[in-house]
C-alpha cells in the first residue's frame, strides 16, 4: 500500500500554490497594494482587543452584526437592497464556494464553468466528489451563450460557477447573459463570483441587481481584493435566504472566529477610505492597459485589478526575465499570456521598465 493512504483521486497531486517569493514588486496574486491606513489599523487593533476579552466563549455563530454590515454595504450596488437574511460569510470566498458545493453539489451532481477561469473551481469539485465539466470561452474571452446553454442542457449542472469579472481574463459578464443562464440552469444554482466586482468599469452593473428575479442566483464577494484584507480571510455571498439556510446545514460549528468578525467589521467602517484606493487602482489599470497596447501587446479588456497580456512565444522566459528584475507576475491563463496585478504607480513603472527590457531580449 502507498503511504500516506490518500483517496485515490488525490494521489500524486500538488497543493494549490502561486509561488510566495520575497520579491520587491509583487504583482502575481491580485492583492491590493495599499495596506490599511493607520486609522484603520488602530480601529482593527482596538476591535480585536475587545474581542480578545471574551475569547473563552464561542463566537456569534450567526455573525449577525457582520451580516448586517455586509448587507448595508452590498445594498449600494442594487436598487432592490440586500437584507441580512440574504447574506452568508465564511473564511474567504473560497470557503463560501466550497460550502456551496458541499450543500448543493457532491456525488452524482455536476459543477460547470467555462475556461479559462479560476483555477480553484475544479479543486472544490474534486474535494466534494462533484463531477467537473468545463466549457470554453471565445477568442476574446467572452461567453458564447448558445454554447453555454447547450452545455447546461447536456449536463444539467447543480452549480454553474462564473466569475465576473473573470479571473484570469478580467472579462465581465453582461446582465442578459447572467439572466439567460439563470433560466437555462433553473434546476441548479448560478454562482456569479464577483471577487473583483468593485473594480468594474463605470456602467458595468453588478449581478446583485438581478437577485429578485432569479431565486437560483448567488453572488459572491470577498474582502480580499477591494478591501485590502486578503490576510483576514473574509468572503461572503448574497442569495435567496433559503439558499443560506442550506449552507447552515454543512458549515462547521462557529466557523467564523470572533477575531475575524471583529476585523471585518472594523474594515467595513473604513469603507470610504478603502474604496477610494479602488478608484485609483481602476485609473492605474486603464493606464496600464493603454501602455501595454502602445507597446504592441495583446491585452484582454479588464474590469478587474489585473490585466492579461501577451502573447509570447515563450511566456515562461518573459516571466523569469521579470522575476530576475525583481517583479513577479503570474504565469496563468491560455498559453502565451501572462497576468499582472495592478500595483502602485511606482510598481507599475518598475514593471513597465522591466517588461521593455525583457521583451527586447526574449521577444
Q: Residues 91, 252: contact at Cβ < 8 Å?
A: no
Residue nearest to ligand PLP (CB): 92
Question: Which of these ranges, 1-9, 32-40, 220-228, 263-271, lies near ligand PLP under the rule CB under 6 A?
Answer: 220-228
**Residue 23 binding ligand PLP, by CB under 6 A:** no
The number of beta carbons lying within 10 Å of the beta carbon of residue 333 is 23
Question: Which of these ranges, 61-69, 208-216, 218-226, 288-296, lies near ligand PLP under the rule CB under 6 A?
Answer: 218-226
Is the CB of 26 or the CB of 224 nearer to ligand PLP?
Answer: 224
Least separation, in Å, of the C-beta of 237 and ligand PLP?
11
Least separation, in Å, of the C-beta of 232 and ligand PLP?
9
Is the CB of 28 or the CB of 94 nearer to ligand PLP?
Answer: 94
**Residue 222 binding ligand PLP, by CB under 6 A:** yes
Q: Residues 90, 251: contact at Cβ < 8 Å?
A: yes
Interacting residue with ligand PLP among 48, 145, 179, 230 (CB under 6 A): 230
User: For residue 342, what are the β-bridge partners?
Assistant: none
For the chain, give percent helix, strand, coil, nearest 5: 45, 15, 40
Residues 160-179 that bind ligand PLP (CB under 6 A): 163, 167
Single out the residue of 352, 356, 344, 341 nearest to residue 27, CA to CA: 341
Is the CB of 191 or the CB of 358 nearer to ligand PLP?
Answer: 191
**Residue 195 binding ligand PLP, by CB under 6 A:** yes
**Residue 340 binding ligand PLP, by CB under 6 A:** no
The dihedrals phi and psi of 192, each to the nearest 5 degrees, come to -95, 110
Question: Which of these ranges, 140-148, 217-225, 282-290, 353-361, lies near ligand PLP under the rule CB under 6 A?
Answer: 217-225
C-alpha cell at 55: 475569547
**Residue 93 binding ligand PLP, by CB under 6 A:** yes
Single out the residue of 332, 226, 314 nearest to residue 270, CA to CA: 226
Show contacts of 69-76: CB within 8 Å, 24+ apart: 69/264, 69/265, 69/268, 70/236, 70/268, 71/238, 73/268, 73/271, 74/208, 74/221, 74/238
Separation between Cα atoms, residue 320 and residue 300, nearest integer Å: 22
**Residue 151 binding ligand PLP, by CB under 6 A:** no
Dihedral in degrees, nearest 10, Cα atoms 225, 230, 233, 238: 0
State the pairing for strand pair 159-163/110-115: parallel
Coil/strand/helix, residue 121: helix
Separation between Cα atoms, residue 121 and residue 139, nearest integer Å: 21
Least separation, in Å, of the C-beta of 313 and ligand PLP?
27
**Residue 224 binding ligand PLP, by CB under 6 A:** yes
Interacting residue with ligand PLP among 33, 36, 92, 122 (CB under 6 A): 92
Question: Which of these ranges, 17-25, 87-95, 103-111, 265-273, lies near ligand PLP under the rule CB under 6 A?
Answer: 87-95
Residues 97-136 that bind ligand PLP (CB under 6 A): 118
Interacting residue with ligand PLP among 47, 94, 169, 261 (CB under 6 A): 94
**Residue 302 binding ligand PLP, by CB under 6 A:** no
- Chain positions contacting ligand PLP, by CB under 6 A: 30, 92-94, 118, 163, 167, 193, 195, 222, 224-225, 230, 235
Amino acid at each position: 500500500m502507498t503511504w500516506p493512504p490518500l483517496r485515490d483521486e488525490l494521489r500524486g497531486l500538488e497543493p494549490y500554490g502561486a509561488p510566495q517569493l520575497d520579491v520587491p514588486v509583487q504583482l502575481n496574486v491580485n492583492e491590493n497594494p495599499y495596506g490599511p491606513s493607520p486609522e484603520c489599523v488602530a480601529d482593527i487593533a482596538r476591535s480585536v482587543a475587545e474581542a480578545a476579552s471574551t475569547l473563552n466563549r464561542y463566537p456569534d455563530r450567526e455573525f449577525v452584526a457582520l451580516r448586517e454590515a455586509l448587507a448595508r454595504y452590498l445594498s449600494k450596488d442594487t436598487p432592490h437592497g440586500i437584507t441580512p437574511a440574504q447574506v452568508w460569510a465564511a473564511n474567504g470566498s473560497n470557503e463560501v464556494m466550497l460550502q456551496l458545493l458541499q450543500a448543493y453539489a457532491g456525488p452524482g451532481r455536476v459543477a460547470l464553468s467555462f475556461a479559462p477561469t479560476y483555477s480553484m473551481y475544479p479543486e472544490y469539485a474534486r474535494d466534494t466528489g462533484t463531477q467537473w465539466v468545463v466549457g470554453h470561452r471565445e477568442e476574446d474571452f467572452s461567453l458564447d451563450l448558445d454554447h453555454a446553454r447547450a452545455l447546461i442542457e447536456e449536463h444539467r449542472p447543480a452549480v454553474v460557477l462564473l466569475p465576473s469579472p473573470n479571473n484570469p481574463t478580467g472579462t465581465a459578464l453582461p446582465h442578459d447573459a447572467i439572466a439567460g443562464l439563470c433560466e437555462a440552469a433553473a434546476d441548479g444554482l448560478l454562482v456569479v463570483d464577483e471577487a473583483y466586482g468593485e473594480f468594474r468599469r463605470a456602467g458595468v452593473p453588478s449581478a446583485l441587481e438581478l437577485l429578485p428575479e432569479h431565486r437560483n442566483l448567488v453572488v459572491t464577494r470577498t474582502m480580499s481584493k477591494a478591501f485590502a484584507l486578503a490576510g483576514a480571510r473574509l468572503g461572503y455571498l448574497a442569495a435567496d435566504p433559503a439558499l443560506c439556510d442550506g449552507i447552515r446545514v454543512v458549515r462547521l460549528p462557529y466557523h467564523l472566529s470572533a477575531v475575524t468578525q471583529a476585523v471585518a467589521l472594523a474594515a467595513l467602517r473604513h469603507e470610504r477610505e478603502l474604496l477610494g484606493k479602488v478608484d485609483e487602482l481602476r485609473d492605474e489599470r486603464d493606464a496600464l492597459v493603454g501602455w501595454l497596447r502602445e507597446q504592441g501587446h495583446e491585452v484582454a479588456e479588464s474590469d478587474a485589478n489585473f490585466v492579461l497580456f501577451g502573447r509570447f512565444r515563450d511566456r515562461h522566459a518573459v516571466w523569469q526575465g521579470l522575476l530576475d528584475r525583481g517583479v513577479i507576475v503570474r504565469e496563468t491563463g491560455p498559453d502565451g499570456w501572462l497576468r499582472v496585478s495592478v500595483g502602485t504607480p511606482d510598481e507599475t513603472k518598475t514593471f513597465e521598465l522591466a517588461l521593455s527590457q525583457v521583451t527586447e531580449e526574449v521577444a
